């Protein structure tokens, strides 16, 4: 008896095959959009999430952690000290710890053209004597006043401004180091000044 009736030769057409399941286009679009939003979120808040108190205990802030790090000298040391002095001098109360300021009230330092502009003549004067008058920062006008802080030492002012100009958390990286000698020279030059600066007056000051 022929075996062909019981074991017919397969032609291949009756073998199981693996099909391709088409992925709906809308799922791909949603996935791309979610990934994009995720990247933006990390970019915007990454600096704020970089310090985790549960990881760096007993230190509760970056400034406290910096205070126990070994001295490196130079601009890096000034930035480290300036971060702590920025908080200690009360600068963060108006400009906020993230450098974003308060909308409609106090201008941001992060990305500010006044901060990123090369030179220190104007920013040192602002800290020493304050600022009064309408000012435009990143396309937005502000009318609040800033009091002067002449009681701060030359070193503290230099450190704070060096930190502000080089705060990587804020996206500021000018590479400028404002030394105590820089601040002292301006303090001596403007020793007789008793009133705050107007933005229009500062525009006439060469920003060395």
Share of the chain above pLDDT 70, in %: 73
| pLDDT interval class at 45 (50, 70, 90) | very low
Is 60 exceeded by the pLDDT of residue 71? no
The pLDDT value recorded for residue 207 is: 83
Query: Angle 191-205-123 (CA atoms, 0-180°, nearest 5)?
Result: 70
The residue extents of the domains of the chain are 75-202
Comparing 57 with 13, the larger pLDDT belongs to: 57
Number of neighbours of residue 82 by Cβ within 10 angstroms: 29
User: How far is Cα 84 from Cα 77, in angstroms, rounded to an integer?
Assistant: 11
| pLDDT interval class at 20 (50, 70, 90) | low
Q: What would the mean pLDDT of 39-54 be, rounded to a whole number?
A: 54
Is 90 exceeded by the pLDDT of residue 28? no
Comparing 203 with 29, the larger pLDDT belongs to: 203
- Structure token digits, residue 192: 């007789």
The pLDDT value recorded for residue 49 is: 44
Q: Give the model confidence (pLDDT) of 166-204 as tens digits.
A: 999 999 999 999 999 999 999 999 999 999 999 999 988
Q: Give the model confidence (pLDDT) of 109-165 as tens digits.
A: 999 999 999 999 999 999 999 999 999 999 999 988 999 999 999 999 999 999 999
The pLDDT value recorded for residue 50 is: 54
Nearest of 91, 93, 94, 63 to residue 79 by alpha carbon: 63
Q: What superfamily does domain 75-202 belong to in CATH?
A: Cytochrome c-like domain (1.10.760.10)
The pLDDT value recorded for residue 46 is: 46
Q: What is the pTM of this model?
A: 0.66
């Amino acid at each position: 008896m022929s075996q062909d009736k019981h074991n017919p030769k397969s032609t291949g057409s009756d073998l199981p095959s693996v099909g391709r399941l088409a992925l709906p286009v809308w799922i791909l679009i949603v996935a791309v959009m979610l990934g994009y939003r995720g990247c933006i979120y990390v970019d915007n808040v990454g600096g704020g999430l970089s310090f985790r108190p549960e990881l760096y205990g007993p230190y509760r802030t970056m400034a406290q952690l910096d205070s126990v790090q070994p001295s490196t000298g130079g601009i890096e040391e000034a930035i480290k000290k300036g971060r702590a002095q920025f908080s200690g001098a009360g600068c963060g109360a108006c400009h906020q710890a993230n450098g974003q300021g308060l909308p409609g009230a106090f201008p941001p330092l992060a990305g500010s053209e006044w901060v990123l502009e090369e030179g220190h003549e104007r920013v040192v004067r602002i800290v020493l004597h304050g600022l009064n008058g309408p000012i435009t920062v990143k396309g937005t006008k502000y009318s609040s006043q800033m009091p002067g802080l002449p009681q701060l030492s030359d070193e503290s002012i230099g450190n704070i401004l060096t930190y502000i100009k080089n705060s990587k958390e804020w996206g500021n990286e000018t590479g400028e180091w404002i030394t105590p000698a820089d601040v002292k020279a301006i303090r001596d030059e403007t020793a007789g000044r008793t009133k705050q600066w107007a933005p229009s007056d500062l525009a006439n000051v060469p920003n060395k």
